Amino acid sequence: MVSTDSSTQKILVTGGAGFIGSHTVVALVEAGFEPIIVDNFSNSEPAVLDGLRNILGRDVTCYHADCNDAAAMAEIFGKEQLTGVIHFAAYKAVGESVQKPLMYYRNNLDSTMLLLELMPQYNVQNLVFSSSCTVYGQPETLPVTEETPRLPAQSPYGNTKAICEDIIRDVVLAKMPIKAFSLRYFNPIGAHPSAQIGELPRGVPGNLVPYITQTAAGLREQLTVFGSDYNTPDGTCIRDFIHVMDLADAHVSALRLLNQTNTDNLYDVYNIGTGHGATVLELIRTFEEVNQIKVNYTIGPRRPGDVEQIYATVDKANQDMGWQTQRSLADALRDAWAWQKKLSN
């Protein structure tokens, strides 16, 4: 029987040096869990560990290893007495996944399957998997609930999320002693309010908020808003933007619920968003207001593959986990800007 006292629980955090993983490490420590990071730094920097130390006042154990390296992973499982795993490690660039599908399938699927093999071997029961709202495509009705049908993914990346969800479900259905939640994240933005950690996009950002902060910082000349002729109040796309610390907190709530659920195996999915949509122009305006800085932008053509609008119902996570968002869109955009200023300095 797993203890519900989180202070004794070591949680393997794959991809724990990445954007969402690093913020979740902070939330885990603050909740009394002991995170053990494994990351190969393919999309993050070891300096993230300094940021974590500055926030937490202590070091966090980090293994520099590849989650697909079976020997290295077995060694970590053998050495650490883990009670759970949060599996963030994955490649996540939608466009790149279209160019390099096998790289995406290998990394994202193999790492998930290896964890599912190792967990029962080492008596580790709890798994939280990073899924994505991308599995819904453009839903016919909004907001999306967990019952909203998944649609065929628009990209190999999206496929990896849907396939990993199914692999985990099938392993649980096969009565393996695993309790797992797939969390379907909507659009995480922002940074830790200390500006010690945040998002570190490599090259030209594909996502909206890093593009905005880099434009405001003068690193990019102009933001292009992709399309203003959508069927939305101001013609720009609608997304459910969630503060990354609220998303981090959801992982703590998910682990607590897994601990409390007294069963040998379990699989469920949860939407993790705010329950509210904002348009791209609303987000730009909020950024300008809260930070008192102008964003140079122009309206351009639609970006191929973009869904027009998507936002979540998060009632299930509210009810089952007792989790709720605490931070506003303005909070997230203020924290994102503070992080960008720190990076620029």
CB 279 within 8 A of CB 238: yes
**Interacting partner of 280 out of ligand WQD, ligand NAD, none (Cβ under 5 to 8 A depending on kind):** ligand WQD
Nearest distance from residue 179's CB to ligand WQD, in Å? 23
Q: Which is nearer to ligand NAD, 161 or 334 (CB)?
A: 161
Judged by phi (left if over 0) then psi (alpha if -120 to 50, else beta), residue 150 lies in beta
Decide if residue 187 touches ligand WQD (CB under 6 A).
yes
Q: Which is nearer to ligand WQD, 33 or 211 (CB)?
A: 211
- In the window 264-293, what residues touch ligand WQD (CB under 6 A)? 280
Judged by phi (left if over 0) then psi (alpha if -120 to 50, else beta), residue 188 lies in beta
The C-alpha atoms of residue 157 and residue 32 are separated, in whole angstroms, by 33
Q: Which is nearer to ligand NAD, 210 or 227 (CB)?
A: 210
> Which residues lie near ligand NAD (CB under 6 A)?
15, 17-21, 39-44, 66-68, 88-90, 92, 107, 111, 130, 132, 185, 187-188
The C-alpha atoms of residue 34 and residue 83 are separated, in whole angstroms, by 10
**Total number of residues that touch ligand WQD (CB under 6 A):** 18
Decide if residue 92 touches ligand WQD (CB under 6 A).
yes
Judged by phi (left if over 0) then psi (alpha if -120 to 50, else beta), residue 297 lies in beta
Nearest distance from residue 44's CB to ligand NAD, in Å? 3
Nearest distance from residue 187's CB to ligand NAD, in Å? 6
Q: Which is nearer to ligand NAD, 100 or 235 (CB)?
A: 100
Binding ligand WQD (rule: CB under 6 A), the pick from 36, 52, 237, 281 is: 237
**Interacting partner of 206 out of ligand WQD, ligand NAD, none (Cβ under 5 to 8 A depending on kind):** ligand WQD
With CB atoms as reference, the residue minimizing the distance to ligand NAD is 18
User: Is 297 one of the annotated active-site residues of the chain?
Assistant: no
- In the window 23-82, what residues touch ligand WQD (CB under 6 A)? none
Where does this chain bind ligand WQD (CB under 6 A)?
Answer: 92, 94, 132, 134, 187, 206-208, 211, 223-226, 237, 239, 280, 303, 306
Residues classed as catalytic: 157
